[in-house]
Structure 1
Amino acid sequence: MDTATPVRRKAPRPRADALRNRERIVAAAREMFVEFGADVPLDEIARRAGVGNATLYRNFPDRDALQREVVCSVMDRTSERAETALAEDGDAFEALGRFVHAAADERVGALCPMLSGSFDRDHPDLLAARERLEALVARLMDRARTVGRLRPDVAVGDLMIALSQLTRPLPGTACLNFDHFVHRHLQLFLDGLRAPARSELPGAAATMEDLRRA
């Protein structure tokens, strides 16, 4: 009797065109979630991505799977922005500021409406993406705080709350032009983070754990 250990075959790698289709779907979904909200019809997302409905559902069997991929994608892209800022020489606070403006362009606030209801916030992919982003932002803030450029009474949660609020699309088409003011208002916020502080903040610094409990 042959007792040789069977050879396990590796799963075939996705074809390049299949990967491109998946990336197009995620990009289209991100755009449409920002423009129309989390309940935009999946058929419309497929149309914008230039793929058939069957292709969309082959990659993402339901809305939750697609929303999770979009959230992970945005967090990963934002993490890459943080890594770029950490690699820069020069003023640590200015590097933090460049990250904040770059993160705003990822429209992280548009994801907030998706993080409710049946959305699984504890999915392993989400946890990994979130932990990576939190650690990188904490490093950026710690570096600016160490050299005395960031006020000591703020934490990662404060920064992420401000980013979420200032980049969240306002309801109604009449408010679309407000997006033009995002970077202006972010700069006002950043000026408030500079040390020495000119005021005493009420309450305690917001941590990411505080946000998860909320």
Structure 2
Amino acid sequence: MSADPQIPLRADARRNRDQIIAAARLIFAEYGPEVPMEEIARSAGVGVGTLYRRFPDREALIREVAVDNFSRVLQDARAAITEEPTWWQALVRLLYQSVELHLSIQLAMLSKKALEIVKDDPAITQLRDDLLVEVDTMVRGAQEEGDLRPDVGAGDVAMLFALLLRQMESRRPEIAEMSTARCITIMIDGLRANPGTPLPGRPLNRHDIN
């Protein structure tokens, strides 16, 4: 297990921990969670021994990265709700802004081991559920305002974004970034009210994707 998060860390220990998590987030997003731990330590600017003192195995590091990641996305969602003038604008901001959500989806989709950790960890499950509640609030609010098509639910939005990000592969980072932005824009246009094509079935809610 990693060190007890309830025990305050010294400033240098906290800095090392934050550097490791930040490095792992970037490396996992680009190469997946199976990258050698030595590479993560080197990228974080710490020794391998320091890494293993904070995170004794890969599972512990993946778990902490996922917790950190979902926490960031949840903060993004709540900030968007607080700061944007409409529910629709809050939803659009979250979809454009949350690159962190990309990593969460990659961790869940591209690694069986990571999927098991993300799926079964109580803290991650709670953060994920809290995020879906916020998305559900945005969706209902945007529908009441008349900006979001009435025949979608929070589960539809989550699944659309997951499917979109899974396809974002390119050898050139600038092309991947541009294509992500373009596809999100196309998706947002499809979510606007007064759609031309009715959707089959029923709206997917946040419980449908558990």
**Which of the numbers 41, 50, 54 marks the counterpart of 1:46?**
41
SS at match of 1:130: helix
CA apart distance, 1:166? 2.5
Deviations 1:143-200 (Å, cap 9, x if unpaired)? 1011111112211222122222333365573687333211111011001011112211
Q: Which residue of 2 aligns with 1:93?
A: 88
**Aligned letter for 1:144?**
A
Which whole-Å CA distance do the structure 2 matches of 1:211 and 1:132 have between them? Answer: 14
Q: Which residue of 2 aligns with 1:132?
A: 130
SS at match of 1:87: helix
Percent sequence identity is 36
**Aligned letter for 1:151?**
R
For the pair shown, which has the larger CA radius of gyration, 1 or 2? 1
TM-score w.r.t. the length of structure 1 is 0.84
Structure 1 residue runs of 5 or longer lacking an equivalent are 1-10
Q: Given the superposition, is the C-alpha separation of residues 176 and 57 from structure 1 closer, same or farther in structure 2, using an over 3 Å criterion?
A: farther
**Which of the numbers 52, 58, 62 marks the counterpart of 2:57?**
62
SS at match of 1:200: coil
TM-score w.r.t. the length of structure 2 is 0.85
Q: Is the Cα–Cα contact under 8 Å of residues 143 and 149 in structure 2 kept in the other structure?
A: yes
Q: Which residue of 2 aligns with 1:104?
A: 99
**Which of the numbers 25, 31, 39 marks the counterpart of 1:36?**
31
Q: Is the Cα–Cα contact under 8 Å of residues 169 and 179 in structure 1 kept in the other structure?
A: no
Query: Which structure shows the higher helix fraction?
Result: 2
Q: Given the superposition, is the C-alpha separation of residues 68 and 176 from structure 1 closer, same or farther in structure 2, using an over 3 Å criterion?
A: farther
**Which of the numbers 19, 28, 49 marks the counterpart of 1:24?**
19
Q: Is the Cα–Cα contact under 8 Å of residues 156 and 206 in structure 1 kept in the other structure?
A: yes
**Aligned letter for 1:67?**
I
Which whole-Å CA distance do the structure 2 matches of 1:144 and 1:88 have between them? Answer: 15
CA apart distance, 1:60? 1.3
Q: Which residue of 2 aligns with 1:202?
A: 200
- Asked whether 1:141 is paired with 2:139, we answer yes
Which whole-Å CA distance do the structure 2 matches of 1:171 and 1:192 have between them? Answer: 22
Which whole-Å CA distance do the structure 1 matches of 2:182 and 2:132 have between them? Answer: 24
Q: Which residue of 1 aligns with 2:162?
A: 164
Deviations 1:64-101 (Å, cap 9, x if unpaired)? 11111112211111111111111124232122111110
Deviations 1:103-155 (Å, cap 9, x if unpaired)? 13652433233563472312111112112211111111111011111112211
Deviations 1:1-44 (Å, cap 9, x if unpaired)? xxxxxxxxxx7521111111111111111111111112111110
**Aligned letter for 1:36?**
Y
Q: Is the Cα–Cα contact under 8 Å of residues 82 and 99 in structure 1 kept in the other structure?
A: yes
Q: Which residue of 2 aligns with 1:113?
A: 109
Which whole-Å CA distance do the structure 1 matches of 2:96 and 2:129 have between them? Answer: 21
**Aligned letter for 1:131?**
D
Aligned-residue CA RMSD in angstroms?
2.3
Which whole-Å CA distance do the structure 1 matches of 2:123 and 2:7 have between them? Answer: 22
